[in-house]
Structure 1
Amino acid sequence: MTLLFWLISRLPLSWLHATGGTLGLLAARLPGRYGTRLTAHLRQAYPRADAATLAEAARATGRMILEMPYFWCRRNPPGRMYGFAGPLWPELDRLMAQGRGLIILVPHLGCFEVLPQAFALKHPVTALYKPPHQPWLRAWILKMRTRHNLAMAPAEPRGVRMLLKALKRGEAVGILPDQVPPGGEGAWAPFFGRPAYTMTLVQRLQQHTGSPIAAIFAERLPRGAGFRGHMQVIEEPLPADPAAAAAVLNQAIEDLVAAAPTQYLWGYNRYKQPRGAEAPPAPAPLPN
């Protein structure tokens, strides 16, 4: 697998985007739940989405997947890959200078693999990830994604402790806020008008540390030309109520998605009910 990833990573990013776009469109058009889910979720958020928009969203998913070998295997990508963060640094440096650490939310939007690498060029960051069940695969992912100033924390109690320690040291942590958590570790909150089980981890980390929160994504530019950075800073502390806090996070993600709607991972099963979670709230009755 390492050899395959290395071979793929040698190709120019523009080639990977072109190939990934074709494969992503093909996958979405094959019979099965993936294409159906992508269409349903995108039209849930943007009811006027036409066939061309749906096709571009499918292509974006393929590009996202083929970016993984590129950024996992290349230790020094071309400078333009990281230059996207330039406009964000004054605000990021301001938040880091407060000395309370920084919680960075990186949703399934644009190229999320480039973000921790770019941040680690200036500041240490610990990124949360969902470890696979196979020990060899977990070890391989750690080897591929760990960098200088970039540590990986598994989404389990040990990893949460790593995040908390990093924040208390005044460092940054990176979290995928729209990943469905296990039952009992989330709260139902609106996401594009539909209840989505949303992690409460971000709220708990902020309660313990007082860390500010920034939601960031790297918009993918055409033909492998690089990325454009976008950021939403959540200035106020999250509400004490877990569901209200989750709603604030989801709104921040919605605001980012609006900048590049086709680059969100619409095929992800965002609205599922994980085992052990209470049922989602019933929709409010329509007015008479």
Structure 2
Amino acid sequence: MTFIFWLISRLPLRVLHAIGGAVGLLAARLPGRYGRRLEENFRQAYPEVSNAMLADAARQMGRLVMEMPYFWSRKTLSVHTENLDDYLWPELARLGAAGNGVIILTPHLGCFEVLPQSHARLRPVTCLFKPPHQPWLREFVERMRARPNMAMAPANPRGVRMLVKALKRGQAVGILPDQVPSGGEGTWAPFFGKPAYSMTLVHRLQQLTRAPVVMVYAERLPKGAGYRGHLRILCDGGMLPDDPAAASAVINATIEDLIAIDPTQYLWGYNRYKHPAGAELPPDTLSATPTVTNNNIQ
């Protein structure tokens, strides 16, 4: 598998995006759960979404898949990125100057593989990931994603301890905030007007460390031209709400805000609204999305 990834990674990004777009569209049009979920979730967020936007969302999913071997198998970052080195990373350095580290949230939006690699060229980052069940595949993912200055923390108690230690060293941590947690490890919060089981880990980490919380998104530019960074600052010297559900609602609202930049680049085929075993039933009245005021750098 390592050789296959290496072979794919030798192709130019524009070629991989073209191949991924065709494969993603085909996958969404095949009979099955994936295509139905993509459309249902997209229409939940944007009821008037056009068929062209649905098709583009399917293509974006295929491009995301093809980006994995590209970034995992290349030891140096060799793509064009706008706003990362000039704006986003200096702003995160400013936020981390107090010594509490920085909690960086990267939702299932655009290319989230390029962000930790770009950040790790400048400063250490520890990234939380959900390890595959198969030991050989788990070892493969960790080995392919690991870089100098970039540690991978599994989504388990050991990984959470790694995140806490990194923050207490004044370093950054990266988390997918819209990853559905296991039952009992999250809370229900609105996401585009529908209850979504959402992690409380970000709230717990900030309560422990008082680290600032930001959200970043690497917008995929057309024809493999590279990526444009976007930043939302949730907490600069302040704290998320004390209530975990309210904190999760603020995080989900910020994800919605970033998705609005280009809705087709969100991973609508992800089962965001699933009900994990062991989680309580969502409240019947949970639908309101809070109003959030962010400091934006684009």
Q: What is residue 190 of structure 2 aligned with on the other side?
A: 190
State the AA in 2 paired with 1:247: A
| 2:93 is the alignment partner of 1:93 | yes
Following superposition of structure 1 onto structure 2, how do residues 5-24 of structure 1 map, counting pairs within 5 Å? 5-24=5-24
Contact 2:83 2:230 in 1 (8 A): no
1:78 to partner: Cα distance: 1.8
- Judging changes above 3 Å, is the alpha-carbon distance between structure 1 residues 82 and 127 closer, same or farther for their aligned structure 2 residues? farther
Residue identity opposite 2:276 in structure 1:
P
1:274 aligns with 2:282: no
Structure 2 equivalent of residue 163 of structure 1: 163
SS at match of 1:177: coil
Secondary structure in 1 aligned to 2:98?
coil
Q: Is the 8 A contact 1:84 1:227 kept in 2?
A: no
Tell me, yes or no, if the aligned pair for 2:183 and 2:278 is still in contact at 8 Å. yes
What is the letter of the counterpart of residue 186 of structure 2? Answer: G
Question: 1:207 matched to which residue of 2?
Answer: 207
Structure 2 partner of 1:105: 105
* Matched position secondary structure for 2:218: strand
- In the aligned structure 1, how far is the partner of 2:218 from the partner of 2:207? 28
Contact 1:82-1:114 within 8 A present in 2 as well: no
1:259 pairs with one of 261, 265, 281 = 261
**2-side partners of 1:186 and 1:260: how far apart?**
27
- 2:218 is aligned with 1:218: yes
Kept in 2, the 8 Å contact 1:221–1:228? The answer is yes
CA deviation digits over 1:238-264, x for unaligned, max 9?
Answer: 111111011011011111111111000
User: Aligned partner of 2:107: which letter?
Assistant: P
Report the more deviating stretch, 100-109 or 136-145: 136-145
Amino acid at match of 2:3: L
In the alignment, the residues of structure 1 paired with residue 269 and residue 27 of structure 2 have an alpha-carbon distance, to the nearest angstrom, of 11
Asked whether 1:233 is paired with 2:233, we answer: yes
The one-letter code sitting in structure 2 at the alignment partner of 1:238 is: L
Give the corresponding residue for 1:243: 245
Q: In terms of mean alpha carbon deviation, does 110-119 or 130-139 score higher?
A: 130-139
The one-letter amino acid of 1:176's match is L
Distance 1:82 1:127 in 2: 22
Distance change in 2, residues 1:227/1:284 (3 Å):
closer
Q: Is the 8 A contact 2:89 2:119 kept in 1?
A: no
Q: How many aligned positions are there?
A: 285
- The TM-score, its normalising length taken from structure 1, stands at 0.96
Q: 1:67 is matched with which residue?
A: 67
Matched, 1:130 2:130: yes
Q: In 1, distance between residues paired with 2:82 and 2:146?
A: 17
AA partner of residue 257 (structure 1): I
Q: 28-37 or 235-244: which moved more?
A: 235-244
C-alpha separation in 2, matches of 1:261 and 1:93: 29
Identity across the alignment (%): 66
Rounded Cα–Cα distance in structure 2 between residues aligned with 1:2 and 1:155: 24
Secondary structure in structure 2 of the residue aligned to 1:215: strand
Name the counterpart of 2:3: 3
Local SS of the residue matching 1:104: strand
1:21-60 matches, cutoff 5 A: 21-60=21-60
- When normalised by structure 2's length, the TM-score is 0.93
Give how far 1:82 is off. 7.4
**Residues 1:245 and 1:25: Cα distance change in structure 2 (over 3 Å):** same
Does the 8 A contact of 1:82 with 1:118 survive in 2?
A: no
Contact 1:111 1:220 in 2 (8 A): yes
Q: CA–CA distance in 1 between the matches of 2:246 and 2:139?
A: 37
For residue 109 of structure 1, report the CA deviation from its aligned partner.
0.2
**Amino acid in the other structure paired with 1:222:** P
Distance in 1, matches of 2:91 and 2:50, equals: 36
Query: Which whole-Å deviations, capped at 9, do the CAs of 1:41-66 have from their partners, x for residues lacking one?
Result: 11111111100000000000000000
Distance 2:12 2:286 in 1: 50
Distance in 2 of aligned mates of 1:79 and 1:49: 31
